[in-house]
Amino acid sequence: MDKNFQIHRLDNGIRIIHRQVKSTKLAHCGVALNVGSRDETLEQQGIAHFWEHMAFKGTNKRKAYHILNSIDAVGGELNAYTSKEKIHFYASTLVQHFEKSVDILSDLTFNSSFPLKEIEKERSVILEEMSLYRDDPADAIGDEFDEIIFPNHPLGRNILGTIDSVKSFQQQDFFDFLEQNIDTHEVVFSSISNLPFEKVVALCEKYFSHIPEMRKDRTRIPFTGYTPITVERKKPITQCHVMLGAESYELHHSKRMTFFLLTNLLGGPAMNSRLNLGIREKYGYVYDISAGSSAYLDSGQFSIYFATEEKSLNKCLKLVDRELGKLRDKKLGVQQLRSVKQQIMGQIAMSGESNLSIMLGMGKALLDKEKFETIEEVFTQIQNISAEDLLEVANEMFAKDRISTLIYRPETKQ
C-alpha cells in the first residue's frame, strides 16, 4: 500500500485510514460500516436504509436541525448511502471545520436516538422514495433483476425494503438492528485532507475512543444455486426496458479484474464500447445501452441494460447476443488489447481525481480487503491481463445457457 495512506486502530477496534494531500483546502471524511441490506432478516427488510435516514434525525445530544445545519452552515456537505453490504456516512468541508465533521459523524453513527415523531415523518419520506423508484422503469427493472439473479436470498432484496416492512418499523426495531450488527472492528473512519496523520488520529481519539468495543459473531448467508430465467412483464410504459445478465465473480475472485476489463469493453461509459457502437451508433435502436458488474463478499452480478421501441426489441436482443458471441469466439489482437487497457486505466485515473471518491473507496477497501490498493497496483493488475484471460472469462460469464433476461413491455392499448 502507498506510504501516503496511513492506518491506525483505536483500542475499541475502530480503524482510521488517512491520506494527506497538501494541495487541497477541503477535508473529506466518512465512517464506513460493514453492515448493509443483506444483513437484514425477512422482517427487517429496509431497516438498514431506514436507519441511514434516521441517523440524521436526532441523537442523544443533537436534534435533527442541529445535525443538518452543522455542516451546511459552513458550506459543507453531509450525506450517506446504503448498499447491499455497507452503510457509509460522510462529510466534506473546508479543512478548518474538519473537527466539526468528526464530531458529527461520530454522534450520528453511534448515538442515534430514533425520535418517535421523526420515525413517522421519515417513514412517509421513504414510502415516497419507493414510489419514485417504482415509477421509473429504469430503476424498477434493476431492483427486480436482483431478485431474479439472487432469488430467495438477501442479495436479491430491495435495499429500500417493502411497503409492509417500512410501515411496520418501530423505535425498538432500530436499536435491535444496531445491537445485532454493529461491530467496532468492522468500522473504518477514512479521511483525505492536508492535515497531518497525527492530528487526524488525535481527533478520532477524542470523538471515537469513548465508544465501547463491540464484537459480533455474524455470518452472512452465502448465495448458491443460480439458475438462468427469462421473465416478461407488462407495464404502463411506452418503450421496452430490458436487462440481461447472470451471477458473476465474487469480490476476491482472481478473475474479477479481468471481468471488470471485459465488461468495460462490452458496455462501459465510453462511446466506443462494443454495445454502443454495434447497436446505438450503427442502427440507432437505443438512446443508451450499458453493461456493468457488482462484486459482493461471496458472489457477484453482471448486467446489460437498454430501452428501445417494441418493434426494435428482437433486433436489439439479437445484436446483444452477437456482441457477446464475438467476445466468446474471437481473441483480441495485440493492438486491441493495448487500447482496451489504456482506456480503462485512463478512466480509473480520471475517477481518481476526486478526493471524495477516493476517501469513500478507502473505507470500503479496508473493510473488504484489509488494505487500499494504489492506482499503480491496480494498473499492474490490468497490465498483466492477457487476451487469453479475456477469452476464457468471456466464455465462462457470457455463455448462452447462463444468461437471464428481464423484459418490461408496454401494456397493450385497448
Q: Check the CA dihedral 155-159-161-167 and report its sign.
A: positive
H or E element that contains 291: strand 286-295
H or E element that contains 9: strand 5-9
For 82-85, the CB contacts below 8 A with 24+ separation are 82/36, 82/37, 82/48, 82/49, 82/52, 82/159, 83/36, 83/37, 83/159, 84/36, 84/37, 84/38, 84/154, 84/155, 84/159, 84/294, 84/296, 85/34, 85/35, 85/36, 85/38, 85/39, 85/296, 85/297
**DSSP letters for 69-100:** HHHHTTT-EEEEEE-SS-EEEEEEEEGGGHHH
In a domain, 221, yes or no: no
Which residues have C-beta within 8 Å of that of residue 83, sequence separation ≥ 6? 36, 37, 159
Q: Check the CA dihedral 391-396-398-400 and report its sign.
A: positive
Pair (306, 406) in one structural domain: yes
H or E element that contains 405: strand 404-410
> What does the pLDDT read at residue 97?
97
230 to 44, 203, 246, 408: CA distances (angstroms): 29, 53, 11, 11
> What does the pLDDT read at residue 3?
65
How, if at all, do strands 15-20 and 187-193 pair? parallel
In a domain, 372, yes or no: yes
Pair (376, 268) in one structural domain: yes
In a domain, 188, yes or no: yes
Pair (245, 201) in one structural domain: no
Domain containing residue 72: CATH number: 3.30.830.10
Q: Which of 209, 239, 269 corresponds to the end of one domain?
A: 209
For residues 150 and 299, give the distance between their C-alpha atoms in angstroms, rounded to a whole number: 10
Pair (183, 42) in one structural domain: yes
Pair (271, 173) in one structural domain: no
Pair (386, 253) in one structural domain: yes
**What domain range includes position 114?**
5-209
Pair (320, 374) in one structural domain: yes
**Residue 308: what residue type?**
T
Q: Which of 155, 177, 209 corresponds to the end of one domain?
A: 209
Pair (290, 332) in one structural domain: yes
DSSP 45: T
Sheet harboring 230-235: ordered strands across? 230-235, 404-410, 240-248, 300-308, 286-295
In a domain, 55, yes or no: yes
Pair (294, 357) in one structural domain: yes
Residues in a beta bridge with 15: 9, 188
For residues 101 and 308, give the distance between their C-alpha atoms in angstroms, rounded to a whole number: 45
For 311-317, the CB contacts below 8 A with 24+ separation are 312/285, 312/286, 313/240, 313/242, 313/407, 313/409, 315/283, 315/285, 316/242, 316/279, 316/285, 316/286, 317/242, 317/405
For residues 90 and 83, give the distance between their C-alpha atoms in angstroms, rounded to a whole number: 14
For residues 53 and 104, give the distance between their C-alpha atoms in angstroms, rounded to a whole number: 15
> What does the pLDDT read at residue 353?
84
Of the candidates 167, 170, 174, the residue with the CA atom closest to the CA atom of residue 59: 174
In a domain, 224, yes or no: no
> What does the pLDDT read at residue 414?
46
Q: Can you give the pTM of this predicted structure?
A: 0.93
Residues in a beta bridge with 304: 244, 291
Pair (350, 237) in one structural domain: yes
In a domain, 131, yes or no: yes
For residues 312 and 284, give the distance between their C-alpha atoms in angstroms, rounded to a whole number: 10
Pair (133, 245) in one structural domain: no
- Lookup: cell for 267: 458496455
How many domains would you assign to the chain?
2
Encode the chain (414 residues) as per-residue pLDDT tens digits: 456 789 999 999 999 999 999 999 999 999 999 999 999 999 999 999 999 999 999 999 999 999 989 999 999 999 999 999 999 999 999 999 999 999 999 999 999 999 999 999 999 999 999 999 999 999 999 999 999 999 999 999 999 999 999 999 999 999 999 999 999 999 999 999 999 999 999 999 999 999 999 999 888 999 999 999 999 999 999 999 999 999 999 999 999 999 999 999 999 999 999 999 999 999 999 999 999 999 999 999 999 999 999 999 999 999 999 999 999 999 999 999 999 999 999 999 998 789 999 999 999 999 999 988 888 999 999 999 999 999 999 999 999 999 999 999 999 764
Pair (29, 172) in one structural domain: yes
121 to 114, 117, 124, 242: CA distances (angstroms): 11, 6, 5, 35
In a domain, 222, yes or no: no
Q: Which of 209, 238, 271 corresponds to the end of one domain?
A: 209
